[in-house]
Structure 1
Amino acid sequence: MKKLVVALCGLGFMAGAAAQSLPAEPQYQHIEQQFAALNLTVNAVSEGPMDNMLQVFTNKGLFFTSANGQFFIEGNIYDLKNQQLVNEQQMRPYIKQQVAKAADGVIEYKAKNEKYVINVFTDPTCGYCRKLHNEMKDYNNAGITVRYLAFPRGGVGSETYLQMQHIWCTKDSRGAMDAAKDGDKIQPAMCANPVKSQYEMGQSFGINGTPAIILPSGRLIPGYQPAKALLAQLEAKS
């Protein structure tokens, strides 16, 4: 188990530009301030899995801290009794909630006989994203509806970020996505779009690559999964 523990009070520096964060509950304002020193935006704070520990959901994923905010814990925490990764279990409700809020901004490939809905953070230039897309019929035939969320790997301001805005703003966004996954040029089209907010949401889940699949349970699966293997996991309600 790899983890890094840093004494925040002994860092001896402040970030050049403190992260803009949501107002913390009064009892957690010290956590917000300490994390700002690390350029981390605090989205939510709650009691952690151990005594005197807090779990902090940030714009860059889940971290843990001592209740007084002195110690910052980066890495995985394992529950040996229940044989599970605490980080993943704690993230699931948060991911599920955030993805539900973004439902209106997805590009959907709906299964005719829908049994399950998955959300996939995608990038049209990603090889395994194209492989997943080329097998869309397999997912749909298995009863799996696929909803795409934007995650331009190059970040905000990249060429892919601009391309994804064009895709989301095109009247036929599905057709534009199909064309982009085939490597075709997309005609410029700009509008108010969710690409930036979806990318930032993915970062807050700790995503740093594509495809990244979100199951209905809120479980995050990094990387490509063939339809048969994915269906087995969905049927197991994992």
Structure 2
Amino acid sequence: MSFRIRVAAIASAVAVAAIGAGYVLSAGAAEPALDKVKATVQKALGPNVEIKSVTKSPLAGLYEINLGSQVVYSDATGRYVLNGDLLDTQTATNLTQEHLAELNRVKWSDLPLDRAVKWVKGNGARKIAVFSDPNCPYCHKLEQMLTQVDNITVYTFLFPILSEDSNTKAKQIWCSADRAKAWRDWMTAKTAPGGAGTCDTPLEANLKLGQQLNVTGTPAIIFPDGTRAPGLIDAATLERKFAALKKS
């Protein structure tokens, strides 16, 4: 199950009229065209949504606006906005998705893995990090799928965004004597975690981290090369990704 944070919630508005503000320009910000886009867009929607960068797109006269969780496009005046994918027909490449993936690449070594629930199967050589809500149905399906995968280490960042009960269960799981067992028992067998959940937890920090990394849905899987898979994937897709990582 997915959710929308503030930036993603703007998407429908982008489709019909405008985009967000709270603007940070990338290299080249001194160009008059970029300044004009900045001023117009900022005035349109105000300061509540951060625009991470504005750059020239490969198409003349079209500017790429990075909202973190999505990329949209504007003309040089900032008046007209296009919400959609830019395709290169010669190379059969989705330039929007390709660039968004690069913009959202995560540095694995920067992940605070001590704030994650860790479990290991086999030799644990293959690693993933997952942002997951205890009450997310697709997160449950992912955990059940992972029981089919060998030689894996999973770092789960408890990310309770669906309900107050999600927060309660996340606290109970984190405060359990065996966090990994409590997490997997709940996610694979619906065995409810016990205890009051009154210890210090990293939940608030995890929520802030997810926002910083533009995690807009659960589950969100991050691989050691910094790429991600938003949403549920199957075992075959995961194995193909691991094989690609091994070759790289």
Counterpart of 2:141 in structure 1 is 131
2:127 is the alignment partner of 1:121: no
Measure how far apart 1:89 and its partner are: 0.9
* TM alignment of 1:1-238, pairs within 5 A: 4=15, 6=17, 21=22, 24=25, 27=30, 30=38, 33-34=42-43, 36-37=45-46, 39-58=48-67, 60-97=69-106, 101-104=110-113, 105-139=115-149, 141=150, 143-154=151-162, 158-168=164-174, 172-181=178-187, 182-183=189-190, 184-187=192-195, 188-191=197-200, 193=202, 194-201=205-212, 204-205=214-215, 207-208=216-217, 210-237=218-245
Aligned residue for 1:118, secondary structure, equals strand
Q: Aligned in 2, Cα 1:108/1:5: closer, same or farther, shift over 3 Å?
A: same
Measure how far apart 1:82 and its partner are: 1.7
Please give the TM-score of this superposition, normalised by the length of structure 1. 0.69
What runs of 5+ residues in structure 2 fail to find an aligned partner? 1-13
Cα RMSD of the aligned pairs, angstroms, is: 3.7
- Indicate conservation of the 8 Å contact 2:73/2:83, yes or no: yes
Q: Aligned in 2, Cα 1:51/1:211: closer, same or farther, shift over 3 Å?
A: same
Number of residue pairs the alignment of both structures matches = 219
CA distance in 2, matches of 1:116, 1:35: 46
Q: Aligned in 2, Cα 1:43/1:60: closer, same or farther, shift over 3 Å?
A: same
Which protein has the larger Cα radius of gyration, Structure 1 or Structure 2? 2
Structure showing the higher strand proportion among its residues: 1
Please give the TM-score of this superposition, normalised by the length of structure 2. 0.67
Aligned residue type for 1:6: A
Identity among equivalent positions (%) equals 21
- Indicate conservation of the 8 Å contact 2:65/2:72, yes or no: yes
**Residues 1-42 of structure 1: CA deviation (Å, up to 9, x unaligned):** xx936367xxxxxxxxx97x4754654672672575384222
What runs of 5+ residues in structure 1 fail to find an aligned partner? 9-17
Q: Aligned in 2, Cα 1:221/1:189: closer, same or farther, shift over 3 Å?
A: same
Aligned residue for 1:42, secondary structure, equals coil
**Residues 113-151 of structure 1: CA deviation (Å, up to 9, x unaligned):** 344322322222123322322343432x1x333222344
